[in-house]
Structure 1
Amino acid sequence: MWVGAFAIGGVVFILADRLRRRRNRRPALITVLSTYDRSSDLAVKQTYLRLNRRTRRRLGLAITASGLVTVGFVVPPINFLGVSLISYLFLDLFSESLLVARDEGRLRANFMESLFVIALIATQYYILAATTLVSFNLGSLLLLGTQERVFKRTIRNALNIPRFAMLASSSGQSLEIRLDQLEIGDVVVVNAGSTVPIDGRVVEGLATVDQQALTGESRPVDKVVGDTVLATTLVLSGSLHIEVERTGEETVAAQVVAALASTLDYRALVAARVDEFADLTVLPTLGLAGIALVAVGPLAAAAVILSNHMNSMRLGIPLTALNYLDLIGRSGVFVKDGRALELLAEVDVVIFDKTGTLTMEQPTIQHIHCFAEFSEDTVIALAAAAEQEQQHPIARALKHEAADRDLNAIITADNAYEVGYGIHATWQDQPVLLGSERLMQREGVTFPAEHDALQAESYARGSSLLYLALGTQLIGIIELRPTVRADVTPTLDALRRRGLRLYLLSGDHETPTRYLAEQLGMDDYFAQVLPQDKAAMIEQLQAQGRRICFVGDGINDAIALKASDVSVSLQGATSVATDTAQIILMDQQIKHLETLFQMAQTYRLNTRFSFAGATIPSLLNVAGVFLLEFGILAAYGSWLVANGINGLSALSPRLIYRPQRARQPDNSADTVGQAPIEAYALPAGGAAPNSGGAAQ
């Protein structure tokens, strides 16, 4: 009977396949993503709706077939219809596996799925065959639904990262505006240390640009008038006026596409790794089935084929990965690169930049020390003018202080930022220097007699100093006091309990860096570190076998973020930091690091559990076929066990991490349109001595 039903199912499949081929092909998901615009949230929804509709149709047919063959026990003629429907669904599955085998020249793991079903049909276990098809399609539907949620959350997170550009004006001053407000023909100003926000053409200026993020070429290139520059490249030195050739909305869209592509790539990477292993089991399974056919009989051969449970792992592990990404996204963390989740489980050293990560984003101006008869207002106004085109925390603190004092604006010219040193500018035909002590020393600035005592007192209080000079004369020192974030101490305690070593890295002087390191109980600290030295220090630790997670938010941190194994930044940080980092804390709360490390560890355990859950029952059942005369029911029972283990592994994140409503950050003025954020209660689970090793 089953042969005739199989033939009818085949005829129906051929007719349905020809009908599908006549329909116009709709764009695939990756095509939709590559043409992302503001309506793409709807486009993604429509694409998944189409994919879900197809999978739901298959699921409905499988459930119908299951019902028919069940009723067929009582009314045998109905069994014929059920087997015909099962045969149709099998041929749909089998044809896809043959197309893959034809295109790649080898049998893939999906071929075993079709053999799994045909073995059940041939041995007349129709109910089990129908149940298997229900399981396949139900799993695919669950995977699609989870992937859709992850993609939508990725779009929202990518759009919620505020991006700004400095728009040139006729007055000579630059105006900070949102990137999506730029139009073609506008001219933006990009200074040293800033990321180029848009694609355009240089109309004024000269600069050295790092294009490694786009081209992979590590050697910087010089850009002059007439040259084309691309978004996400980094200006290392000089300054550029760039005419916009692509609207800000298009640029934002491209960045969203990049985030979506990264998520899609990671999903594909996880699936590819699982498939690679599953593919290796195809020929051994067929070989063992052939031996069983000769040595034991056809039922034993079918049982061996049913012993290949890799299909449960091919669904379970990618679904586990997507569930973790979805839960992390809901907690206010934007994982731009899913591989970071895997690497976090291997990290043994966490390095924190001092300013803006462990301390509040903007330091407090504690005191203004004036020299050469300059007033506090003049020092603040001149410092704010020099920092006018910068967006880092100290620049914002100076501009806010000037606004609070209601000072008349001072206009400086030729403002240029030198990474690791500070600002060069011109005011009233005199050179202006604003930055670190090392900048003043290099430029030959004269220090007053009281400088050393003032510096010692300030450092003893844990303050940092910002120097301002006109020509070679020091006119002011601005004392900046960092405020440790409220969530830092408990977070660091939790990381220590996980056995992680914690380092503090800063370009600041040794004394305030040591003060903060001792206050927080860091394992070690490194002070007066230039940006390029940060990366060298990370590479040195990596050469010793360490796995590094670097947490930073400034222009000076970009090189270190690239060099580390896992990079973390905060929303509201400089564009170059958020563009470089693999993980962004959307609500600027360091406490999420504890959840991240916890989830990374359980994710690794879950994937290993899924792997064991698929392979161990498979091996035991094959041994049972040859040694204990296991049959079809035993093989199917072990397949159900493998599916149960992988299903439990995939769903366990949602059982372990209980969502709790989290407070929005106090400094939410810099955030834009964020979706509600959830925190997660972690399952139940002494500061190391400070070595005080300052790097000079």
Structure 2
Amino acid sequence: MKHTYNIQGMTCNGCKTNVENALSNLKEITKVEAFLKEKTVAIEMSSHISLEKLQETLLNAGLHYTIEMPGHKKHKEVKIIEEGNGIFYCPMHCEDDKTYNSQVGCPVCGMDLVEQPKLQVTTKYTCPMHPEIIKDKQGNCPICGMDLVAIEPSENEKDKTYQNLLKKMKISVLFTVPIFIIAMADLIPGNPLTKMFSQFTWNWIQLILSLPVVCYTCWMFFERAYKSIKTWNLNMFTLIGIGTGVAWLFSLVAMFFPDVFPDQFKTESGTVFVYFEATTVILTLVLLGQLLEAKAHSQTNGAIKELLKLAPTEATLVTESGDEIISIHNIKKGDFLRVKPGDKIPVDGKITEGHSNIDESMITGEPIPVDKKIDDAVSSGTINGTKSFVMIAEKVGSETLLSQIIHMVNNASRSRAPIQKLADKISKYFVPVVILVATITFIIWRYFGPEPAMVFAFVNSIAVLIIACPCALGLATPMSVMVGVGKGAQNGVLIKNAEALENLNKVDVLITDKTGTITEGKPSVEKVINTAGTFDENLLQGIASLNQYSEHPLAEAIVNFAKSKNIKLLESKDFEAVMGKGVIGTVRNKKIALGNKKLMELVKAKITSEFDTKIITEQEQGKTVSYIAINQIVVGYVTITDAIKATSKQAISLLQKQGIEVIMLTGDNKRTAKYVADQLNLASFQAECLPEDKLNVIKELQSQGKIVAMAGDGINDAPALAQANIGIAMGTGTDVAIESSEVTLVKGDLLGIVKAINLGKGVMKNIKQNLFFAFIYNILGVPVAAGLLFPFFGILLSPMIAAAAMSFSSVSVIVNSLRLRNIKL
């Protein structure tokens, strides 16, 4: 049998080969062929293999690709070994979101890979007396009987890269400082070192001291340089490796074969000038830059780590025999959990007993605690107030809102913004151009420079190679994106990818729905009136029975109103929701239609002018009115109110001050829409819109060159959200909302759109600042290193100063990116 699967994550021929090799190891597979362009893999197998086994095979081989059946929606979750400790990614995202299972350096740019934070909180327990005992849950030690205690992960384990580089840095400094002092002996009054040993001996001492730096602490730079040349992925380490390697090998040859050099390379004592101090100082400075970057990287994904800290590790399970402390990973749907004062809520669910106020600021960004009562939803990671309650678990593990937020933030922080294409394009040609400039520098100084011309040519060409490092250029965008996405998540603004951040900066039109976006989205029935103008219990029973199986908010409001009146619901048949018009069905053999004028026209039910006048009066007060028809005769109406959110007017005013046009598109009638628009000072609105009408409005605006953002509930407005340049889902961050939009506002508040747009503008401003830092160092540094200022001011740039400037450029980019953590949204 033969099957073809889609496969996400292949970016090069190497990936293609790895996939084929990994899958061919399965004994059931007789032939496998991957297709890079189509992103598919064709598999011939002797017996059927499950999709889960194929996925597991790829993951076990260290290939973090998603394999799926054609036509199926991409899996939102892959069993997360890929998100755990020991998985690394390139901070420059050279191969997009590709990850690696060893820290060997990026195969494209050569940079240190950054370890992903583990996206699943697991608590292990051990015995204080017998550390070899490790259990998944609390209990007693089987050896001594002592209570087991939680194992807290050490800081060293959290940041292995930083600790490893710190160790190497200390060793480098230990050996580099003496070399530097020896080389600078001429500047010490009286030059006491020459009285101890000859220059020849000191050169040998420098050579010996340089070996630990060149051959151990900084050897990785030469490995990366070699790999970059071998694969022709020229990068910053190409320049560093060539520059320092040439200087060290030159010095080595000078030690063993001094006679091959002309006199201009020799000192008064007859020894050749050596550059051990330049080599070791440059390498140590580059190592310092890597160390500072590693420290900063741990801060840039600090938002993810803070979100991870929100996840509790234990919960209190309510059982018939009493309360029991269990691991959060053992919670099942339907379990009843007791949440005590001050506890973190373990999973998503609803309160079934008691009430409390809950601090949801860690997810929504809003500091004011929210009162919660029976049947109200609560989210994992939020913090209970001063009262205890019992809840039922509805979403556990990766289904919880907190887990979705963490995964979304982690994925978005590794995505690439369109502006990064500029940096990528420049970097592609940058290194060859720099090598060419260094070569030209050598030639000009060799044939046109002052004596010793060869020395000047050698030193200045190395300075050009060292200072012109593209590292800062590559870091400029990803660092800002990573910090910006994390900042948004902490304020209830979930960004799906970096492109959304860039587009938020350009938005000039916001399309917004009314119900649930501008209004509270919690409609309530005010009255059910018959043609005589009085409350009619039979009409309420009919329309409530008709709507009892509908999930629409208006239907739910009608059913709840009937229940509050203790009205028994009857059996309904032939229920049908007519998109944008209302619902129809049969109750007690009577055909009931409930909806707007368009529905009445559809079922051919006539409305008298006198009756219509009453309804107009209700609509002009901002109420939603639905006609009730039985057997094609209009017999009454139901009035439903939905309060405008307190923050809507403030948010719209702030958006308008930023020059953003706000347009309300609603399926409600014109009078109700006008009332709401007047309350919010909206100049533009359209009423009685079907989903396709919203879609067409957005297309029309886009044809005029507008960048359109659409705010809706992520379900009914899915076509419009998909068409808009930026889809903004309002609500509680459900699966549908997150999947159907580029931005999800956890709190479902228009002020969240203001935060999102401010975040987009802040991130783009920060990226441009970073690109300026990256470019300015190279624009100014390369000419100075080449000796452009020497004829005018006698200024030359030492290779050691060039190395310091190169490292500082990368650090300045990262430090500037970290400023986003303090941006006010």
> For 1:382-401, what per-residue CA distance to the aligned partner results, in whole angstroms no more than 9, with x for missing partners?
33443334434323322332
State the partner residue of 1:260: 407
- The 8 Å contact of residues 175 and 212 in structure 2, kept in 1 or not, is answered as no
The 5 A counterparts of 1:15-414 are 30=64, 35-36=78-79, 45-46=117-118, 52-73=159-180, 80-81=208-209, 83-96=211-224, 98-99=226-227, 102=230, 105-112=232-239, 114-115=241-242, 118=245, 123=275, 124-125=277-278, 126-144=280-298, 146-147=300-301, 149-150=303-304, 153=307, 181=333, 252=399, 260=407, 263-264=410-411, 267-270=414-417, 274-296=423-445, 297-371=457-531, 376-414=536-574
Distance (Å, rounded) in 1 between the aligned partners of 2:595 and 2:714 = 15
Q: 1:465 to 1:34 in 2, by over 3 A?
A: closer
State the partner residue of 2:639: 479
- The 8 Å contact of residues 625 and 637 in structure 2, kept in 1 or not, is answered as yes
Distance (Å, rounded) in 1 between the aligned partners of 2:523 and 2:475 = 49
State the partner residue of 1:677: none
Shift in Å, 1:422: 2.5
Distance (Å, rounded) in 2 between the aligned partners of 1:537 and 1:283 = 49
Shift in Å, 1:528: 1.5
TM-score norm. by structure 2 comes to: 0.60
Shift in Å, 1:300: 1.3
Q: 1:59 to 1:506 in 2, by over 3 A?
A: same
Indicate the SS of the match to 2:517. helix
Q: Which amino acid aligns with 2:220?
A: D
Say yes or no: does 1:656 pair with 2:784.
Answer: no
> For 1:16-65, what per-residue CA distance to the aligned partner results, in whole angstroms no more than 9, with x for missing partners?
xxxxxxxxx98759479963369977896458987832453134213331
Q: 1:595 to 1:355 in 2, by over 3 A?
A: same
> For 1:420-458, what per-residue CA distance to the aligned partner results, in whole angstroms no more than 9, with x for missing partners?
222233323333323222122122123245322012211
- The 8 Å contact of residues 570 and 588 in structure 1, kept in 2 or not, is answered as yes
Larger displacement relative to structure 2 (463-472 or 538-547): 463-472
Q: Which amino acid aligns with 1:352?
A: T
> For 1:498-523, what per-residue CA distance to the aligned partner results, in whole angstroms no more than 9, with x for missing partners?
11111111111112212211221113
Q: 1:304 to 1:100 in 2, by over 3 A?
A: closer
Q: 1:643 to 1:458 in 2, by over 3 A?
A: same
Distance (Å, rounded) in 1 between the aligned partners of 2:551 and 2:488 = 28
State the partner residue of 2:809: 642
Distance (Å, rounded) in 2 between the aligned partners of 1:114 and 1:379 = 84
- The 8 Å contact of residues 59 and 138 in structure 1, kept in 2 or not, is answered as no
Higher relative contact order (CA 8 A, sep 6+): 1
Q: Which amino acid aligns with 2:821?
A: R
Distance (Å, rounded) in 2 between the aligned partners of 1:373 and 1:461 = 18
- The 8 Å contact of residues 622 and 675 in structure 2, kept in 1 or not, is answered as yes
Indicate the SS of the match to 2:414. helix
Q: Which amino acid aligns with 1:91?
A: W
- The 8 Å contact of residues 531 and 611 in structure 2, kept in 1 or not, is answered as no
Shift in Å, 1:551: 0.8
Equivalenced residue count is: 549
Say yes or no: does 1:622 pair with 2:782.
Answer: yes
Q: 1:261 to 1:601 in 2, by over 3 A?
A: closer
Shift in Å, 1:257: 7.8
RMSD of equivalent CA atoms? 3.9
- The 8 Å contact of residues 154 and 260 in structure 1, kept in 2 or not, is answered as no
- The 8 Å contact of residues 528 and 637 in structure 2, kept in 1 or not, is answered as yes
Distance (Å, rounded) in 1 between the aligned partners of 2:401 and 2:640 = 38
> For 1:199-255, what per-residue CA distance to the aligned partner results, in whole angstroms no more than 9, with x for missing partners?
xxxxxxxxxxxxxxxxxxxxxxxxxxxxxxxxxxxxxxxxxxxxxxxx987994999
Distance (Å, rounded) in 2 between the aligned partners of 1:516 and 1:254 = 32
Distance (Å, rounded) in 2 between the aligned partners of 1:387 and 1:154 = 42
Say yes or no: does 1:495 pair with 2:655.
Answer: yes
Distance (Å, rounded) in 2 between the aligned partners of 1:155 and 1:429 = 58
Q: 1:643 to 1:575 in 2, by over 3 A?
A: closer
Distance (Å, rounded) in 2 between the aligned partners of 1:449 and 1:443 = 18
Distance (Å, rounded) in 2 between the aligned partners of 1:422 and 1:342 = 39
1:542 paired residue among 702, 711, 728: 702
Distance (Å, rounded) in 2 between the aligned partners of 1:155 and 1:357 = 31
- The 8 Å contact of residues 370 and 376 in structure 1, kept in 2 or not, is answered as yes
State the partner residue of 1:521: 681
- The 8 Å contact of residues 303 and 487 in structure 2, kept in 1 or not, is answered as no
Larger displacement relative to structure 2 (528-537 or 388-397): 388-397
Distance (Å, rounded) in 1 between the aligned partners of 2:817 and 2:505 = 18
Shift in Å, 1:97: 5.1
Q: Which amino acid aligns with 1:269?
A: R
Indicate the SS of the match to 1:627. coil
Distance (Å, rounded) in 1 between the aligned partners of 2:806 and 2:708 = 40
- The 8 Å contact of residues 585 and 592 in structure 2, kept in 1 or not, is answered as yes
State the partner residue of 1:602: 762
> For 1:249-302, what per-residue CA distance to the aligned partner results, in whole angstroms no more than 9, with x for missing partners?
799499968983785366242477644432321111111111112112111111
Distance (Å, rounded) in 2 between the aligned partners of 1:525 and 1:259 = 36
Shift in Å, 1:142: 2.8
- The 8 Å contact of residues 516 and 522 in structure 2, kept in 1 or not, is answered as yes
Indicate the SS of the match to 2:607. coil
- The 8 Å contact of residues 349 and 547 in structure 1, kept in 2 or not, is answered as yes
- The 8 Å contact of residues 430 and 470 in structure 1, kept in 2 or not, is answered as yes
State the partner residue of 1:21: none
- The 8 Å contact of residues 309 and 614 in structure 1, kept in 2 or not, is answered as no
Distance (Å, rounded) in 1 between the aligned partners of 2:649 and 2:235 = 51
Q: 1:80 to 1:590 in 2, by over 3 A?
A: farther
State the partner residue of 1:420: 580
- The 8 Å contact of residues 84 and 119 in structure 2, kept in 1 or not, is answered as no
Indicate the SS of the match to 1:355. coil
- The 8 Å contact of residues 362 and 396 in structure 1, kept in 2 or not, is answered as no
Distance (Å, rounded) in 1 between the aligned partners of 2:642 and 2:541 = 21
Indicate the SS of the match to 1:354. coil
TM-score norm. by structure 1 comes to: 0.70
Q: Which amino acid aligns with 2:407?
A: L
Q: Any stretches of 5+ residues in structure 1 without a counterpart?
A: 1-24, 158-179, 184-246, 658-679, 681-696
- The 8 Å contact of residues 307 and 638 in structure 1, kept in 2 or not, is answered as yes
Q: 1:114 to 1:513 in 2, by over 3 A?
A: farther
Q: 1:90 to 1:561 in 2, by over 3 A?
A: same
Larger displacement relative to structure 2 (133-142 or 615-624): 133-142
Shift in Å, 1:491: 1.2
Larger displacement relative to structure 2 (319-328 or 357-366): 357-366
Q: 1:610 to 1:573 in 2, by over 3 A?
A: closer
Shift in Å, 1:536: 1.0
- The 8 Å contact of residues 289 and 811 in structure 2, kept in 1 or not, is answered as no
Distance (Å, rounded) in 2 between the aligned partners of 1:370 and 1:258 = 48
Distance (Å, rounded) in 2 between the aligned partners of 1:154 and 1:339 = 25
> For 1:100-134, what per-residue CA distance to the aligned partner results, in whole angstroms no more than 9, with x for missing partners?
6655x542455345446647867432234212212
- The 8 Å contact of residues 413 and 482 in structure 2, kept in 1 or not, is answered as no
Q: 1:255 to 1:156 in 2, by over 3 A?
A: closer
Q: Which amino acid aligns with 1:70?
A: V
Shift in Å, 1:486: 0.8
- The 8 Å contact of residues 117 and 132 in structure 1, kept in 2 or not, is answered as no
